[in-house]
């Protein structure tokens, strides 16, 4: 008895295109979901970090009766040089030193040896000269540096900070944000407690500029501030 063969019908072009289209739609939905989740996670990380810093800054104020000093050059910025200087000066702030507390050894000598209240800075953070510190922050000293009672307002001590090196100075440029900028550059928390341009004239401005991915897979830099 001869076996019976059943002729198989192949997929038509229309059917193949339909399947490919469905796969494409599913992939797009998955990618959109992942992108949205990533952006939401970044927003949450920055918001959480901002609330932690705001709480520490307010505690500092309650204890010392003034807000942590910012970059001293902010107070003298004028409309003529606002665009070119304000962003950099607000990011280069001594907020880390002020919130964690530091003591200065031999402040009248040639070295400014900064030590945290809780532990020590990473390698390279000692023997910072007074001149270099002042050049970066336009501040001659750290306000929260009483050798008898330096206070740490960030406990546990944060570890996610990035070293910044300039001529004559190796140290922290400022507090880094949990989420970097689009171009991968280190992103710092901006802080302003003295300039005429701040949104909160009776207190301080604290903000971060970080990147998220929106519809069309395009990165966008957004701002999260306390105003």
Between 100 and 45, name the one with better pLDDT: 45
- The per-residue pLDDT for 143 is 86
Which structure tokens are listed for 37? 């989740």
pLDDT > 70: percent of the chain:
66
Confidence class for position 205, pLDDT limits 50, 70, 90 = very high
Q: Based on C-alpha coordinates, what's the Rg of the chain?
A: 26
Between 33 and 57, name the one with better pLDDT: 57
Confidence class for position 11, pLDDT limits 50, 70, 90 = low
- The per-residue pLDDT for 128 is 58
pLDDT digits (tens, 9 = 90+) for 156-179: 655 544 445 444 445 556 788 888
Mean pLDDT for 96-116 is 62
pLDDT digits (tens, 9 = 90+) for 121-138: 544 444 456 667 788 889
State yes or no: pLDDT of 60 exceeds 90.
Answer: yes
Spans of all domains in the chain: 21-225
Q: What is the C-alpha separation between 189 and 47, in angstroms, rounded?
A: 12
Closest-CA residue to 91 (of 164, 27, 143, 34): 164
CB-CB neighbours of 17 under 10 Å: 11
Phi/psi of residue 3, each to 5°? -65, 150
Confidence class for position 152, pLDDT limits 50, 70, 90 = confident
């Amino acid at each position: 008895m001869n076996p019976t063969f059943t002729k198989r019908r192949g997929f038509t072009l229309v059917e193949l295109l339909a399947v490919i289209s469905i796969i494409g739609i599913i992939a797009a939905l998955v990618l959109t979901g992942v992108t949205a989740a990533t952006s939401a996670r970044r927003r949450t990380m920055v918001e959480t970090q901002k609330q932690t810093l705001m709480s520490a800054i307010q505690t500092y104020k309650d204890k010392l009766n003034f807000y942590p000093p910012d970059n001293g050059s902010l107070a003298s910025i004028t409309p003529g040089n606002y665009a070119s200087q304000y962003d950099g000066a607000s990011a280069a702030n001594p907020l880390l030193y002020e919130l964690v507390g530091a003591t200065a050894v031999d402040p009248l000598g040639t070295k400014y040896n900064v030590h945290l209240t809780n532990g020590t800075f990473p390698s390279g953070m000692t023997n910072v000269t007074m001149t270099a510190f002042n050049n970066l922050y336009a501040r001659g000293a750290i306000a929260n540096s009483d050798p008898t009672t330096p206070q740490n307002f960030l406990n546990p001590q944060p570890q996610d900070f990035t070293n910044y090196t300039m001529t004559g100075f190796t140290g922290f440029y400022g507090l880094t944000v949990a989420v970097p900028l689009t171009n991968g550059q280190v992103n710092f928390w901006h802080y302003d407690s003295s300039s005429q341009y701040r949104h909160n004239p009776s207190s301080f401005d604290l903000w971060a500029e970080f990147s998220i991915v929106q519809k069309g897979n395009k990165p966008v830099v957004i701002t999260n501030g306390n105003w």
